[in-house]
Structure formats: structure tokens, C-alpha cells
Chains A and B, each alone.
Chain A
């Protein structure tokens, strides 16, 4: 398979995730869309690692997974706190600091 095919697939997933991040209202849906973007990037790293026969891409993808785990833990903590304070997880409800 040409590397471009994997890059295009990654670009498609990334675009879907980006659209989800900016348009969805539920904080949970935004978190899911962010996960989609991270995975699109991982696919690109792994495809590049294979193309250039260097395992570094795989190692970076490994770090992305570790950072995603940390991000999900903190994000879900914030969502639980938001649900407790606002009784909803709508991101537009959490706009107390807006000027």
C-alpha cells in the first residue's frame, strides 16, 4: 500500500474529529472527538515509521497513547465535576468566565 493511502485515511479521521470538537455541545462528545484526532495522528506516525524503516514513529505513537491516557483521566475528572456543579455536561454551560 502506498503511504499516501494511510495519510489520507488519517487526514479523514482527523477532519472528522476536528469538526466534532468545534461543533458538539456535550463535553463527553468533545472528548471522544479529541480521541479520534489523536488516533488519526497515531496512524500517520506508524505509517511513516514503516515507510522510512525507523521504529521512532512507533515510539512516538506509544507516547501519544500515554498522553491520551493522562488526558482522558483529567478530562473525565473535569466532566464529573462539571456535571456535579451544573447538572449538565454542556460545554456552553461552563462559560462563567466569559466577559
Chain B
């Protein structure tokens, strides 16, 4: 068994089970922690896929910053299962599992029955971070700059949306 197969055999099932738990948990905090387990096991899978830089970005940005923000807001709102008596819309019944199964069946059929173009014979560049930097500041410079504008816009939007309304009078009936 190659190291990559061992990584997949361990992290793959953990990833799926934690993902299932993340959508099934009634308690938002438990769902967020399950999602964190999914993110960390995905980072481990990235290591197996020869993408160490992305694995660490995944840990630092996703499992670190984004999940801290999410858990912070869950704590701030104090939402618990008391506030959400129903796990899903009552009228939906078994719709959730059916949607998941149907979507997975279609995707799996496409993956298994279709054929991917032949894999490249050469391995990924040895110098992974350098290769990413070359692309990021070469071919994808515009997208990189656009991402910085997007992050700034999101920052401003989050402040504007989440601040206390001093102009509540503009919204009669609230």
C-alpha cells in the first residue's frame, strides 16, 4: 500500500462521515465542529495529492479563520436546538436523503461510465509553492487582484449589514 492509498483509506471515510454529521447535526455548534473535522481530513487528503501548500492554506484559512468566525457567531447568537425545533422543513419528509442519493447517483454514474482524458505522465513540479506563485502572479494576476477587491468589498459589506440599525424608523413594522 502506497502512502497515498493509506492516506485516502484513513482520511476519506473520516471526511465522509464528518460531512454527513455536519449536515445531520441538530446543534449548530456540533455541525460546525463536524465540518472542521471534514476540513482537516480534506487537508490531509491534499497532502496525499502532492499539494502541501494547499493543505496548509486549508488548515490556516478554512479550519482556522473561517471556522473560528462561524463558531464565534454561533456562540454570539446563542442558537441551540431550543431555537430550532425542526431539523428540516417538516413538509419535506425524506426529501433530504433522496436528494443526496439521487445527486450522488447521477455524479457517480457520470464519473464511472465516462472516461477521463489520459493522465499526464510527468509528476507535479517538485517546487510546489514556486509553481503556484508563478501562476498566481503570472497567468492569474488579474484574478488575484480581483480577489483582493472582493475580500475588501465583503469586509465592508459585512460591517454594513451586521451593524446595529440606528435608522430603524425607516423600516416600519419591525
Contact = CB atoms under 8 A, between A and B. Distances in A.
Interface of A: 1, 3-9, 11-20, 22-26, 28-29, 31-33, 35-36, 39, 42-43, 46-47, 49-56, 58-59, 61-63, 65-74, 76-81, 83-85, 88-90, 92
A10 B101 CA distance: 14
B172 interface: no
A20 B69 contact: no
B103 A15 contact: yes
21 contacts: A5-B12, A6-B8, A6-B45, A13-B15, A16-B20, A20-B23, A22-B99, A28-B31, A28-B77, A35-B35, A49-B49, A50-B49, A53-B121, A62-B136, A63-B140, A69-B65, A74-B157, A76-B162, A77-B160, A79-B77, A85-B174
Interface of B: 2, 4-5, 8, 12, 15-16, 19-20, 22-23, 28, 31-32, 35, 38-39, 42, 45-46, 48-51, 53-54, 57-58, 61-62, 65-66, 69-70, 73-74, 76-77, 79, 83-84, 86-89, 92, 95-97, 99-101, 103-104, 107-108, 111-112, 116-117, 119-125, 128, 131-132, 135-136, 139-140, 143, 147, 150-151, 153-155, 157-162, 164-165, 174
B35 A36 contact: yes
Given A5-B8, A55-B128, A61-B54, A29 B23 contact: yes
Contacts of B132: 55, 58-59, 62
Given A15-B107, A68-B62, A74-B157, 8 more contacts: A20-B22, A26-B28, A32-B70, A33-B23, A36-B23, A39-B39, A77-B157, A78-B161
Contacts of A23: 88-89, 92, 95-96, 99
Given A4-B116, A20-B96, A92 B131 contact: no
Nearest to B77: A83
A80 B89 contact: no
A14 B128 CA distance: 27
A52 B119 contact: yes
Contact of A62 (B57, B74, B124): B57
